[in-house]
Amino acid sequence: MKGKKKKKKVKGMREEVIEKVEENEMLVEHGATTGTSEDIEAWWDKFEELEVDGKLVLFYSTFTKEEKEEFWEGLELFDAVDEVFNDLASEGRVEEGIKLLETLKQQRPAQYMAKYPYYDYYLLHYYAPLGEREQMKEMIEHFEEDPGKGIDHIFVALDIFGLYGMAEEACQLSRGAYQKLKGSDGIMPLGVVELNQRAVFCAIREYISSPNYGEEEAEKEFYNELKELDYGGEEPETMDDERLRKTVKTLRGEIRRDWKRGDFLMSNDDYEDNVYLFAIEFIRYLHTEKSFEWVTGDLFFDLVLEYFEGVTERKRRFYFSFSKEHLDEFLVKFFGFISLNDAKGMAVLKALEYFSVFLHQKGISTDKELKEVEGAIEEFSVTLREIYEGRAWKYKFLEGWA
C-alpha cells in the first residue's frame, strides 16, 4: 500500500517470526488500544487468534504503544505472558521467552512487579546455571521489599540457590526473609521454622569455613549471629549446647564415629540422634569427597531425611530401609500440575543415590540393599527424563553432578 510505513523489526526477533506475523499484519498494527473495556476485550480477541510468533509481536507492539494505565490495570497480562512463555519453552525457545520477560520488566515495570514472584521464577531457573549474580541480587531485592507476597517462591529460590551452590544468595535471602516474617500472620509457623533452620545453617557454615575457626573472636561473632536468629533463647549460645557442639564438630571432621547398623534400629533409644548426626556426616562427605557447596549438602540432608521419615514399612525396624513404593509417592508431590518444586524433585534421586553409597561405604547397608536402591533410581531417572524432557532447561544442575 502506498505510503505505508515499513514495519520495524524487534531487536532479537528471528526472521521467520517476522515473516509469520506478516500474515497477521492488520491485527498486530491495531495492537495499541485506547484503554476502554471494549479495547481490552478486543486485545484478547486478537491475542487468541494469533499463533505464538504473532502473540510475541503483539506483546512488543503493545508494550511500546499503549500508555493508558487503565488499559494495563484491566488487561491482567499475566495469563497471556505465562501462556506464551511456556509455549516457547516447550518449543525449545526459552531465550525468546526470557527476552519477553525482560522486555516486560524494562518497559512495563509496574505490570512486572504486580506478578514478580511468577516472572522471577522463570528468570531464576534460567540465570542461576549461568551464574548471573546480578540477576540473583535483583530477585532477592524483590523478595525483600515484600517477602510475604512471594513466600512460596522464596522457598523455591532458596532451593535453586542450594542446587547451584549459591551460598551467598541462599544465606542473604534466608536471613532477610526470616527476620521480616518471623512475627507475620501471613506465613505458617512451619515456614518460619524452615527459614530459621536455613539461616542457622548459614551461620554454622560461615563459622566452620572461617580461617579463624575456634578463635575467641570468631566464636563470639558466631554466637551473636545465632542470637539474632533466636537460636536458644535470649542469650548467645555456647558450645555447651550439646547438639550445636556435635553439629559443628562433625561438620569440621573433629568427631568421627564408628557407626553400626544397630545404631539405626528404631529399638535403639538413641536412634533419632544417631540418624541426625549420621546425616550431618553425610553433609561433610558431600563437601569433602564430592566437592559440593555446604548449602547443597544441607538441601540433600533435608531431602534424604524427609524421604526416610515417610517410609512406613521398615525391615526389622531399620530406619534407613528403602521403599520403591514410597519413592514413587514421594516424587509425585514435586511434580504435580501446579507444583513449583519440580527442580528440587529432580534432585531427589541424586540425593538418595549419594546417600545410599555413603551408607554402603560406612558398612551400614549391604551390597543387595545398595543394588536395590540403584536399580530403582535408574528406573525413575529414565521415567522422569522422558516425561520432563521439555523442561530440561530448568535442570542444568544435573549436568554438573557426577
Evaluated on CA atoms 391, 396, 399, 402, the torsion sign reads negative
Does residue 155 lie in a domain region?
A: no
Domain count, the chain: 2
- Residue 346 pLDDT: 92
Which range is least confidently modeled, 166-170, 223-227, 292-296, 383-387? 383-387
pLDDT tops 90 at residue 12:
no
Q: Domain range for residue 270?
A: 256-388
Question: Is the pLDDT at 236 greater than 60, yes or no?
Answer: no
Q: Is residue 295 part of a domain?
A: yes
234 belongs to a structural domain: no
Of 189, 183, 151, 165, whose CA–CA distance to 298 is shortest?
165
Give the pLDDT of residue 232.
73
**C-alpha grid cell for residue 78?**
499475566
Q: Supply the pLDDT for residue 240.
A: 61
pLDDT of 235: 52
Residue 196 has a CB neighbour count (10 Å cut-off) of: 20
Question: Does the pLDDT at position 5 exceed 70?
Answer: no
Domain presence at residue 225: no
- Position 2 scores a pLDDT of 35
User: How many helices (H) does the chain have, and how many strands (E)?
Assistant: 20, 0
| pLDDT, tens digit, 9 for 90 and up, residues 88-115 | 999 999 999 999 999 999 999 999 999 9
Residue 44 belongs to some domain of the structure: yes
In a domain, 130, yes or no: no
Residue finishing a domain among 93, 114, 135: 114
Average pLDDT over residues 352-378: 97
| pLDDT tens digits, one per residue of 254-307 | 999 999 999 999 999 999 999 999 999 999 999 999 999 999 999 999 999 999
Altogether, the residues listed in the chain come to a count of 402
- Final residue of a domain: which of 67, 87, 114? 114
User: In the Cβ-directed half-sphere of 232, how many Cα atoms lie within 13 Å?
Assistant: 17
pLDDT tens-digit readout, 149-199: 888 999 999 999 999 999 999 999 999 999 999 988 878 888 999 999 999
Please give the span between the terminal C-alpha atoms of the chain, in angstroms, as a whole number.
61
User: Do the domain assignments include residue 319?
Assistant: yes
Does the pLDDT at position 28 exceed 60?
no
Reported as a single tens digit per residue, the pLDDT across 248-257 is: 999 999 999 9
Supply the mean pLDDT for the chain: 88
For residue 231 the three cell numbers come to 537460636
From 99, 114, 129, the end of a domain falls on 114
**Residue 35 φ/ψ region, left for φ over 0, alpha for ψ in the -120 to 50 degree band, beta for the rest:** left
34 vs 361, more confident: 361
Q: Looking at the domain assignment, is residue 339 inside a domain?
A: yes
